[in-house]
């Protein structure tokens, strides 16, 4: 089935110019295509690195060029297969630490294991903190993430970090598509996402609504109430990720029952587990907007899906970090 890939003009940043001496960008296997696009934005070649497996499944990393004294950026979202992606990242960090890199910057467009960020029930782990500890102990000096499941995760790191927001990319695309002129309302699919929805609503000059829900168990949602007026409105839902699609689809159905005329869903991370793509295609949602922080294979593509590029945002953040320029200035009008 077809899908739409938007052009980079929606990102609001311009390609980097000139040479970036002393900086190298490397990538694992999790999203090499994105890393190539980031390297192209920066005007550099992606560093040479070999990642294979031993016969028993252990990951083997070989850095095929010198990294001594360099400001090294490792691009690796910890997406599916999550455990392989995470372990590959940790081994890459160790390899570059032993290769005498001056600074190791971990760029994680998608932070896996983020949903368990606090202890709710007895004997539960806090996996978001565990992953942060693993990255720290492995030898990273800085971490860069896009739209963490909760912002408190940045506090789990004892090193400097940058939290990037994809909302402005989504907002600019919607303005270009004329959504700012529509009778719309921005909807947060849960109470935790109100800040994200409010920022997008300010960009689009629209009101917000909130879906109050509870989760009796993982990937199960009970909608309790919708706060805000959606009668006769086009609703734009925004979330950090879409996993199985159940939560966003149930939210869309509830909005339509309350009188919404149309529901558009947007997210940063298109996890799309299981048959999520087919469920979204068959749902009453008219369009799904997502970024390419996670590789979206052909089997997960569907006609309602529009993919927005994240490489200019990531590339600009990397350029600013290397040159010791402000990263937060990219989001002055967002937060």
Active site residues per annotation: 213
Residue with tokens 């109050």: 212
Burial class (CB in 10 A: 0-12, 13-18, 19+), 151: middle
Kindly give the interhelix angle for 167-176 and 194-204, rounded to the nearest 10 degrees.
30
Helix H or strand E segment including 250: helix 246-257
DSSP state letter for 332: T
**How wide is the angle at C-alpha 68 spanned by C-alphas 65 and 70, nearest 5°?**
95
Q: In what order do the strands lie in the sheet with 142-146?
A: 23-27, 71-75, 103-108, 142-146, 161-164
CA distance linking residue 137 with residue 42, whole number of Å: 29
Count CA atoms within 13 Å of residue 203 on its CB side. 26
Residues 21, 70 contacting (CB under 8 angstroms): no
Sort residue 209 into left (φ over 0), alpha (ψ -120 to 50) or beta: beta
Strands (E), the chain: 4-5, 23-27, 49-53, 59-63, 71-75, 103-108, 142-146, 161-164, 184-188, 208-214, 222-227, 234-242, 262-270, 287-291, 305-308
Task: Show the DSSP H helices in 26-66 as ranges.
Answer: 32-42
Residues 104, 93 contacting (CB under 8 angstroms): yes
- Rg of the chain over Cα atoms, rounded to whole angstroms, equals 20
């Amino acid at each position: 089935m077809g899908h739409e890939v938007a052009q980079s003009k929606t990102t609001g940043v311009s390609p980097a110019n000139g040479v970036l001496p002393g900086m190298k960008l490397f990538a694992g296997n999790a999203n090499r295509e994105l890393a190539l696009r980031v390297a192209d934005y920066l005007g550099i070649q992606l560093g040479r690195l070999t990642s294979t497996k031993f016969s028993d499944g252990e990951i083997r990393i070989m850095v095929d060029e010198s990294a001594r004294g360099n400001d090294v950026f490792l691009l690796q979202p910890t997406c599916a297969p999550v455990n392989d992606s995470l372990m590959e990242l940790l081994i890459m960090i160790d390899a570059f630490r032993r290769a005498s890199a001056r600074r190791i910057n971990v760029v994680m467009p998608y932070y896996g294991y983020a949903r368990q960020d606090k202890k709710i029930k007895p004997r539960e782990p806090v996996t978001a903190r565990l992953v942060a500890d693993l990255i720290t102990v492995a030898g990273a000096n800085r971490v860069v993430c896009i739209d963490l499941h909760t912002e408190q995760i940045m506090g789990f790191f004892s090193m400097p970090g940058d939290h990037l927001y994809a909302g402005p990319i989504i907002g600019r695309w919607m303005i270009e598509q004329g959504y700012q002129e529509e009778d719309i309302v921005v909807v947060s699919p849960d109470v935790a996402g109100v800040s994200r929805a409010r920022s997008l609503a300010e960009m689009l000059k629209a009101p917000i609504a909130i879906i109050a829900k509870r989760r009796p168990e993982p990937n199960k949602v009970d909608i309790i109430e919708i706060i805000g007026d959606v009668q006769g409105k086009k609703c734009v839902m925004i979330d950090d990720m879409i996993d199985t699609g159940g939560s966003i689809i149930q939210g869309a159905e509830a909005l339509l029952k309350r009188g919404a005329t149309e529901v558009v869903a947007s997210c940063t991370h298109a996890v799309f587990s299981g048959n999520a793509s087919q469920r979204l295609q068959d749902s009453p949602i008219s369009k799904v907007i997502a970024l390419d922080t996670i590789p979206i294979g052909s089997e997960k593509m569907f006609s309602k899906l529009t993919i927005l590029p994240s490489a200019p945002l990531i590339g600009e953040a990397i350029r600013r970090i290397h040159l010791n320029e402000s990263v937060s200035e990219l989001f002055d009008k967002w937060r």
